[in-house]
Copies of this chain bind each other. A is one copy, B any other.
Amino acid sequence: MIDKVSMKKTLLEMGRKARSASKELKTMRSVQKNKILSSIATRLVEEKDYILSQNKIDLKNGRENGLSNAMLDRLELTEDRISNIAKGLHEISGLQDAVAKVDSTYIRPNGLEIKKIRVPIGVIGIIYESRPNVTVDAAGLCLKSGNAVFLRGGSESIHSNMAFAKVMQESGLEAGLPEAAVQLIPWTDREAINIMLRMDEFIDLLIPRGGEGLIRKVVETSTIPVIKHYKGVCHIYVDSEFNKEMALNIIENSKCQRPGVCNALETLLVHKDIAEDFLPALEQLLAERHVQLRCGKKARQILPSAESATEEDWKKEYLDLILSVKVVDSVKDAVEHISTYGSDHSDCIITENDKNANFFLRAVDSAAVYVNASTRFTDGAMFGMGAEIGISTDRIHARGPMGLEELTTYKYVIYGKGQIR
């Protein structure tokens, strides 16, 4: 057990080193970064026995502490999983670099040429729970975008995380990565996270990934900018002019293809004129997929055997095979419901009416607003970003899927010929 003063001293020293590493990383060429990422990937597979042995300790502790089977599954590493993690790094290495990309160039009337150029953010702090693969995935994306990374994983996966960090550090150093470009906090005490959250001198951005409690704590304590990856209460609204088969398809996909993720459908809104015909067909389809419906008053008149939805249901992210269903009077009504209960993540209108589509797209202010497509597309890979570090439910800096570009900021480079004011 380490005392608070020594812990703080060590963490601040880690911060200083991260800042120093980030200065080197900022100007590192793509080819060099890619080489480093590939070296790390290769080494992870070579060191799989070591990593698996450390993971076994976490699994043993987890079983003793009564973790659920679902949590143990998330915690467990296998040869296959390590191979996939390494493959992920190779893929990141192959992505186009976002750094040094020119956003815009213009010449002012006085002849000054102004270029807006993407640069790394600096040092990024990632705070995460349970899944040890985040240690590598997040580090890979941060390094590729020229950022140093300061990791703080959950206590359940500490041995696995430490093993990953050690292998990345050693193989990275050999391949030319600055020391301290990847660091993991070795303590899982609450105190360590409290210190980290106030290290604004050394950490430029925090990305917390985990439950509501963790994220709230980070927001309340941190003096560092935070981009949250919070819940998705996603809606689909089925308009009165619509393609029935398409609607059934999209709803089934949005709800069932992977119900446990933030871009899965949680609430269905149906126009009153088509509810009587559409809802029974939907009920039949979703019954086959074992989806439980929770219906508002009008919807329940049409589907009397379904459960009733409470006020709480409209706000819920079920992450399960449950769907809230409400009959609405108009597209305006649907927008109003989404604005009241939604989480600004992903929302969709199914319609053949362009006017209603445009109204919905304009009035719904979510990170991703769809017409006639599954909400499950809100994802870095699906958006063509190659990979993602998460999906921002915030409004500052980045919204929706965050890829490499969202891990950068910009600077202005100005070419003069002696201009003065």
Contact of A119 with B420 at beta-carbon distance under 8 Å, contacts A220-B223, A377-B414, A400-B412 already known? no
Determine whether the beta carbon of B219 is less than 8 Å from that of A418: no
- Asked if A332 lies at the interface with its beta carbon under 8 angstroms from chain B, I say no
Within 8 A of B (CB), among A390-421: 394-397, 399-400, 409-421
Determine whether the beta carbon of A420 is less than 8 Å from that of B368: no
- Asked if A295 lies at the interface with its beta carbon under 8 angstroms from chain B, I say no
A383 to B421, CA, bound (A): 12
Contact of A418 with B372 at beta-carbon distance under 8 Å, contacts A27-B362, A411-B366 already known? yes
A165 to B366, CA, bound (A): 31
Determine whether the beta carbon of B417 is less than 8 Å from that of A367: no
Determine whether the beta carbon of A200 is less than 8 Å from that of B219: yes
Determine whether the beta carbon of B369 is less than 8 Å from that of A412: yes
- Asked if A205 lies at the interface with its beta carbon under 8 angstroms from chain B, I say yes
Contact of A377 with B112 at beta-carbon distance under 8 Å, contacts A220-B223, A257-B420, A411-B368 already known? yes
- Asked if A194 lies at the interface with its beta carbon under 8 angstroms from chain B, I say no
Residues of B within 8 A of A190 (CB): none
Determine whether the beta carbon of B373 is less than 8 Å from that of A412: no
- Which residue in chain B gives the minimum CB-CB distance to A252? B420
Residues of B within 8 A of A419 (CB): 372-374, 377
- Asked if A193 lies at the interface with its beta carbon under 8 angstroms from chain B, I say no
- Asked if A232 lies at the interface with its beta carbon under 8 angstroms from chain B, I say no
Determine whether the beta carbon of A121 is less than 8 Å from that of B395: yes
- Asked if A365 lies at the interface with its beta carbon under 8 angstroms from chain B, I say yes
Residues of B within 8 A of A23 (CB): 339, 365
Residues of B within 8 A of A383 (CB): 108, 114, 412
Determine whether the beta carbon of A382 is less than 8 Å from that of B121: no
- Which residue in chain B gives the minimum CB-CB distance to A103? B103
Contact of A373 with B416 at beta-carbon distance under 8 Å, contacts A27-B363, A396-B396, A421-B382 already known? yes
This protein's copies in its complex:
2
- Asked if A122 lies at the interface with its beta carbon under 8 angstroms from chain B, I say yes
- Which residue in chain B gives the minimum CB-CB distance to A249? B420
- Asked if A59 lies at the interface with its beta carbon under 8 angstroms from chain B, I say no
Determine whether the beta carbon of A409 is less than 8 Å from that of B395: yes
Determine whether the beta carbon of A376 is less than 8 Å from that of B225: no
Contact of A411 with B396 at beta-carbon distance under 8 Å, contacts A225-B225, A421-B374 already known? no
Determine whether the beta carbon of A421 is less than 8 Å from that of B225: no
Residues of B within 8 A of A250 (CB): 418, 420
Question: Interface of chain A, helix or strand or loop or mixed?
Answer: mixed
Contact of A418 with B246 at beta-carbon distance under 8 Å, contacts A114-B383, A409-B396, A411-B399 already known? yes
The size of the chain A interface, using a CB distance under 8 A, is 66
The contact string, 1 if C-beta is below 8 Å from chain B, for chain A 116-127, is 000101100000
A384 to B106, CA, bound (A): 9
Determine whether the beta carbon of A369 is less than 8 Å from that of B400: no
A254 to B339, CA, bound (A): 49
- Which residue in chain B gives the minimum CB-CB distance to A226? B225
A362 to B23, CA, bound (A): 12
- Asked if A17 lies at the interface with its beta carbon under 8 angstroms from chain B, I say no
Pick the most buried of A220, A365, A384: most chain B CB atoms within 10 A of its CB.
Answer: A365
Residues of B within 8 A of A27 (CB): 362-363
Determine whether the beta carbon of A395 is less than 8 Å from that of B339: no
Residues of B within 8 A of A252 (CB): 420
From B226, B339, B369, B417, A414 is in contact (CB under 8 Å) with B369
Contact of A411 with B26 at beta-carbon distance under 8 Å, contacts A205-B396, A219-B223, A420-B374 already known? no
- Asked if A253 lies at the interface with its beta carbon under 8 angstroms from chain B, I say yes
Pick the most buried of A26, A367, A376, A396: most chain B CB atoms within 10 A of its CB.
Answer: A396
Query: What are 16 pairs between A and B in contact, CB < 8 Å?
Result: A27-B362, A106-B384, A112-B373, A112-B377, A119-B365, A227-B396, A243-B418, A252-B420, A254-B420, A370-B414, A371-B416, A372-B415, A373-B417, A376-B420, A377-B414, A397-B397
